[in-house]
C-alpha cells in the first residue's frame, strides 16, 4: 500500500533537505565571504596560523561530543512515542556529557597549548590561539548536540537560524568592524568565541520552545546502555573522519609551511561549496533512514537512496564545471598568492564527484546498525591519508596533500558503496543519472570551447559568457530530457506554494 503524500519519505526528505540546504546555503555564502575577508585582512601566513588553530578546534570538538549527536538524531524520534520523561533522559545524556567533556578538554588544552604549539607545529605563535580554542570548546560541543536534538525533533530550521545564519552574520560583522582597525589571528579566534556563545544561547532557547527543558530531572532514566553502544563506534568513526579532513592541513603545517596550509584551507573551503546540497540532504535523511529501517521498509530506503544521489549530482554538476574551467581565477578571490592552489582544487573537485556519486551510503551504513563497518572504513581512510601525506607532501607540497586526500576520499566512497550493497542489496545507480551527466559533459565541452576562444578577452567577461552559456545549455538539456514523476510533483507543489504566497502578498497590499 502506498504511503500517503504527507508520509512519503521522499517528500519529507525534500522538505527537510530544503530547510537544511537553505541554512547551509546562507552559512556557505557567509563563510565564503568571511574566508575571503579574513584571507585579505590576515595575509597567507596569519591566515595559515588561524586555520591551523581551527583544525585543532574542530578535532577537539569531535573528541568532546562522543558521537552522541548521532544518538540524539536516532533516539529522540524513537522515544517521542514513549513519553516526555524518556525524551528528557535522552537529551540530558546526549547534551550534558559532551558539554562536561568539552569543558574538561578545554582545561587540558589551556595548559598544553605551549607544548602543542612549539613541539608539534614548531610555531610558538600558535600558543595564544590554542588558548582561545580551549575557551570555545564547551560551547561548541553544546551547539553540536543541541542542533542534533533539533534534527531529532525534525526541526531543521532551529540550527539554520541560530548557527548557520545568526552566528555567521555576527561573525562577519565583527570581523569587518575589527578589521577596520587592524585584525590578527588572535582577534579572529576571539570573535569565534563570541559567536559560538551567542549561537549556543540562541539554539538552546529555540530548542526549549520545542521541548521544555524546565522540568524536574529527578528520577529521569538516562539510557546509557542504549545510546553509548550506538554512539561510541560512531564517535570513533566521526573523529577519524574529521581527522581525515583536517590531517592534510595539519601535516602541511608540520611538514610544509604555514603559507601552504593557508592556501590548502582556501581550496577545501571552495570544494565544500560543492558538497553543500549533498550534506544538507544527508542530514535531513538521517531520522528518515532510522524510521525506514525500524519499519523494515527496504523499498522506501532504496527510493530515498536513489533520489538523494540524483538530486545531489544535479546540483553538483554546475559547480564542478566552474571549478574545472576557472580554478585559478576563482582562487584569486582570496588573493594573488592563492592561485598556486589551482591544481589542488581540480584534484579535490574530481574526488568530490566520486564522493557525491556514492550518495548517502555512509549514512545508510551507520543508521542501519553497521557502525563497526563505518568505523573500520574511517580508520582505514585515515591511515591511507596519513601514509600518502607523509610521502607526498615533502616533495609535492599542496598537490601531494590534495592527491593523498582525494585518493583516500574516493576509495572510501567506493568501499562504502560496495558495503551497502552487500548488507542491504541496494545501490543508487539508475539510468536516470545518465541524462544529467550527459547534460553536464555537453555543457562543459561548450563552455570550455568558449573559454578557449575568449582567452584574449577580460577574464571576468570570459567567465560570465562561458559559464552563462554552459549553465543555460545544462538547464535546457535537463528540461529536454525530462524530470522524474516524483520530481515533477514536488516542483508543481513548490510552484503552487510560490504563487499562493505571491497572491497573498498582493492581496495584503
Mean pLDDT value of segment 249-266: 88
Residue 457 falls inside a structural domain: yes
Q: Which three cell numbers stand for residue 446?
A: 561548450
As a whole-number percent, the residues of the chain with pLDDT over 90 amount to: 42
Q: Are residues 320 and 448 in the same domain?
A: no
Mean pLDDT value of segment 118-126: 89
Q: Which H or E run includes 375?
A: helix 371-396
pLDDT at 437 over 50: yes
Q: Are residues 305 and 271 in the same domain?
A: yes
What residues make up the domain containing 477?
A: 432-509
CA distance 169 to 260: 28
- CA distances, 147 to each of 53, 155, 161 (Å): 23, 9, 11
Q: Are residues 481 and 357 in the same domain?
A: no
CB within 8 A of 231, min separation 6: which ones?
A: 66, 67, 68, 70, 71
236 by Cβ neighbours in 10 Å (0-12 / 13-18 / 19+) ranks as: buried
User: Where is mean pLDDT largest: 23-27, 111-115, 281-285, 294-298?
Assistant: 111-115
User: Where is mean pLDDT largest: 19-23, 158-162, 239-243, 461-465?
Assistant: 461-465
Lowest mean pLDDT among 21-25, 222-226, 428-432, 446-450: 21-25
- The last residue of a domain, from among 397, 429, 461: 429
As a whole-number percent, the residues of the chain with pLDDT over 70 amount to: 89
Q: Which three cell numbers stand for residue 481?
A: 530530457
CA distance 45 to 123: 12
15 versus 201: the higher-pLDDT residue is 201
Q: Are residues 54 and 181 in the same domain?
A: yes
Q: Convert the pLDDT of each residue in 151-192 to its tens digit.
A: 888 787 888 888 888 998 999 999 999 998 889 999 999 999
Question: What sections of 295-339 are H helices per DSSP?
Answer: 298-325, 327-331
Q: Are residues 80 and 186 in the same domain?
A: yes
Q: Which three cell numbers stand for residue 26?
A: 546562507
Residue 2 falls inside a structural domain: no
Q: Which three cell numbers stand for residue 114?
A: 605551549
CA distance 338 to 341: 6
Q: Are residues 325 and 275 in the same domain?
A: yes
pLDDT at 80 over 50: yes
Q: Are residues 456 and 340 in the same domain?
A: no
Residue 1 falls inside a structural domain: no
Angle at 392 between CA 387 and CA 397, to 5 degrees: 130
20 versus 142: the higher-pLDDT residue is 142
Specify the number of domains making up the chain. 2
Q: What is the structure's pLDDT at 232?
A: 80
- The last residue of a domain, from among 429, 456, 477: 429
Q: What is the structure's pLDDT at 13?
A: 52
Q: What is the structure's pLDDT at 170?
A: 94
CA distance 92 to 211: 12
Q: What is the structure's pLDDT at 2?
A: 37
Q: Are residues 391 and 455 in the same domain?
A: no
Residue 67 falls inside a structural domain: yes
Q: Are residues 181 and 257 in the same domain?
A: yes
pLDDT at 56 over 80: yes
Q: What is the structure's pLDDT at 501?
A: 52
Q: What is the structure's pLDDT at 77?
A: 82
The pTM for the full model equals 0.73
Which phi-psi region, left, alpha or beta, contains residue 426 (left: φ > 0; alpha: ψ -120 to 50)?
beta
CA distance 507 to 273: 38
Q: Which three cell numbers stand for residue 76?
A: 529522540
505 versus 38: the higher-pLDDT residue is 38
Residue 3 falls inside a structural domain: no
Mean pLDDT value of segment 88-111: 92
pLDDT, averaged across the chain:
85
Q: What is the structure's pLDDT at 479?
A: 87
- The last residue of a domain, from among 429, 461, 478: 429
Lowest mean pLDDT among 128-142, 149-163, 349-363, 476-490: 476-490
360 versus 320: the higher-pLDDT residue is 320
Q: What is the structure's pLDDT at 4?
A: 37
pLDDT at 498 over 60: no
Q: Are residues 421 and 446 in the same domain?
A: no
Mean pLDDT value of segment 425-448: 92
Residue that is written with C-alpha cell 563552455 in the block: 447
Asked if 131 and 53 count as a contact pair (C-beta separation under 8 A), the reply is no
305 by Cβ neighbours in 10 Å (0-12 / 13-18 / 19+) ranks as: buried
Q: What is the structure's pLDDT at 156?
A: 77
Q: Are residues 230 and 311 in the same domain?
A: yes
pLDDT at 307 over 90: no
Q: Are residues 399 and 452 in the same domain?
A: no
Q: What is the structure's pLDDT at 507?
A: 54
User: Where is mean pLDDT largest: 13-27, 190-204, 352-366, 475-489?
Assistant: 190-204
CA distance 44 to 262: 6
User: Where is mean pLDDT largest: 147-151, 174-178, 266-270?
Assistant: 174-178
CA distance 344 to 220: 52
Residue that is written with C-alpha cell 578535532 in the block: 59
Amino acid at each position: 500500500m502506498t504511503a500517503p503524500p504527507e508520509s512519503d519519505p521522499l517528500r519529507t526528505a525534500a522538505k527537510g533537505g530544503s530547510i537544511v540546504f537553505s541554512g547551509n546555503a546562507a552559512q556557505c555564502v557567509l563563510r565564503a565571504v568571511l574566508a575571503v575577508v579574513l584571507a585579505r585582512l590576515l595575509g597567507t601566513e596569519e591566515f595559515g596560523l588561524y586555520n591551523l588553530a581551527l583544525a585543532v578546534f574542530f578535532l577537539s570538538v569531535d573528541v568532546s561530543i562522543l558521537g552522541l549527536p548521532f544518538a540524539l538524531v536516532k533516539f529522540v524520534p524513537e522515544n517521542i512515542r514513549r513519553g516526555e520523561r524518556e525524551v528528557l533522559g535522552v537529551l540530558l545524556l546526549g547534551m550534558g556529557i559532551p558539554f562536561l567533556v568539552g569543558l574538561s578538554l578545554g582545561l587540558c588544552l589551556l595548559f598544553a597549548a605551549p607544548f602543542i604549539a612549539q613541539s608539534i607545529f614548531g610555531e610558538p605563535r600558535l600558543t595564544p590561539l590554542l588558548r582561545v580554542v580551549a575557551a570555545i570548546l564547551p560551547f561548541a560541543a553544546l551547539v553540536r548536540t543541541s542542533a542534533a536534538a533539533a534534527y531529532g525533533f525534525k526541526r531543521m530550521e532551529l540550527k539554520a537560524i541560530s548557527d548557520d545564519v545568526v552566528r555567521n552574520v555576527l561573525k562577519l560583522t565583527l570581523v569587518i568592524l575589527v578589521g577596520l582597525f587592524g585584525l590578527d589571528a588572535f582577534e579572529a579566534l576571539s570573535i569565534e568565541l563570541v559567536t559560538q556563545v551567542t549561537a549556543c544561547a540562541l539554539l538552546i532557547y529555540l530548542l526549549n520552545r520545542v521541548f521544555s527543558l524546565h522540568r524536574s530531572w529527578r528520577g529521569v532514566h538516562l539510557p546509557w546502555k542504549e545510546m553509548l553502544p550506538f554512539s561510541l563506534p560512531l564517535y570513533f568513526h566521526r573523529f577519524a573522519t574529521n581527522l581525515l579532513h583536517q590531517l592534510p592541513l595539519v601535516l602541511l603545517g608540520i611538514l610544509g609551511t604555514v603559507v601552504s596550509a593557508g592556501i590548502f584551507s582556501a581550496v577545501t573551503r571552495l570544494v565544500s561549496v560543492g558538497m553543500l546540497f549533498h550534506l544538507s540532504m544527508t542530514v535531513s535523511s538521517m531520522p528518515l533512514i532510522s524510521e525506514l529501517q525500524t519499519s523494515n521498509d527496504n523499498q522506501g530506503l532504496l527510493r530515498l537512496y536513489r533520489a538523494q544521489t540524483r538530486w545531489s549530482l544535479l546540483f553538483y554538476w554546475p559547480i564542478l564545471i566552474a571549478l574545472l574551467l576557472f580554478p585559478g581565477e576563482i582562487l584569486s578571490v582570496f588573493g594573488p598568492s592563492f592561485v598556486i592552489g589551482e591544481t589542488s582544487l581540480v584534484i579535490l573537485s574530481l574526488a568530490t564527484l566520486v564522493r557525491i556519486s556514492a550518495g548517502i551510503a555512509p549514512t545508510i551504513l551507520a543508521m542501519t546498525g553497521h557502525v563497526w563497518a563505518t568505523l573500520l572504513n574511517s580508520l582505514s581512510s585515515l591511515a591511507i591519508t596519513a601514509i600518502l601525506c607523509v610521502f607526498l607532501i615533502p616533495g609535492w607540497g599542496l598537490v601531494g596533500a590534495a592527491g593523498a586526500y582525494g585518493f583516500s576520499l574516493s576509495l572510501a566512497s567506493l568501499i562504502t558503496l560496495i558495503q551497502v550493497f552487500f548488507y542491504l542489496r541496494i545501490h543508487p545507480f539508475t539510468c536516470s543519472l545518465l541524462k544529467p551527466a550527459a547534460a553536464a559533459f555537453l555543457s562543459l565541452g561548450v563552455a570550455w570551447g568558449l573559454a578557449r576562444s575568449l582567452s584574449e578577452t577580460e577574464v571576468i567577461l570570459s567567465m560570465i559568457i562561458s559559464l552563462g552559456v554552459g549553465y543555460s545549455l545544462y538547464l535546457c538539456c535537463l528540461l529536454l530530457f525530462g524530470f522524474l514523476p516524483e520530481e515533477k510533483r514536488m516542483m508543481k507543489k513548490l510552484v503552487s506554494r510560490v504563487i499562493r504566497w505571491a497572491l497573498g502578498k498582493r492581496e495584503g497590499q
